Structure 1
Amino acid sequence: MLIKVHGKVGRTTTGKAYTRAAGSEGLNDLQGDEGLERLAGYINRNFNHRSGGPHTAEGVEKAGYGDCWGLSDWAAKKLAANGYKVKVVQGATSASSRHRWLHVYSEGRWTSFEPSLVTKRYGSKHYTATCGKTNTVVKTYNM
């Protein structure tokens, strides 16, 4: 099933329609890939990417936007609080040699979670879309 969200049509990796979360309710019971979908939707509705923006979770919450470091820090802390194993990773892209995103253990496998690319600035891409190649694990949670 396909749906139209913010002018974009999307589908999850499991074939379910990609939906955006409404409000912060439900972010304390994230589980599996469905939880990753809900978190991505929340980020899309409530935060945006801004180069030079806050680079901590606290800064992102206060400003409502952040750079890739800040959005990754915020998402990693939310996921870890819900029991996910999370790695904050860093690598090169065409625009930066120090881009950050996440690797998350969900449903028996590691998957990329790209908080910057799910924002409206980058076209509300699916959370598994990536733009860099990992070369460093910066931080781990629940390992």
Structure 2
Amino acid sequence: MEVAIRSEEEGQREENEVRITTSGKVHNYLRYATTLLNEKKINTIKLSAAGSAINKCISVVEILKRQVPQLHQWNLVDSREVPSNKNGLYGTSSRHVSCLSVVLSRSSNIYPQTDEHGYQAPQSQ
């Protein structure tokens, strides 16, 4: 199963996608992700966050990797231009927000570039 990297502006969320926000609780994200991996038998999930939610996303990923063994990890760091909340006198301004997408999979052949930056092999038990 391949994970489609989607833009968050599209609004559609795949079943295997978990969007981490600053207002959500870590245990709710963990419960949803483990349900996807263990009960629904989905082999690949994508966790994504932007801005100050990135710290929470990293925590969720690290805890999840300890709860579910043999997960391969691919990280993608990017930035996105978003409109600023300040409406200036001379037009609208924008700012860049950091984004993190993490793909966790039981299979190593999702992305063949396992030797590149951003890949982490499963933790040994």
TM-score normalised over the length of structure 1: 0.30
Q: Bigger relative contact order, structure 1 or 2, given CA contacts below 8 A and separation 6+?
A: 2
State the structure with more CA Rg.
Answer: 2
Structure with the higher strand share, 1 or 2: 2
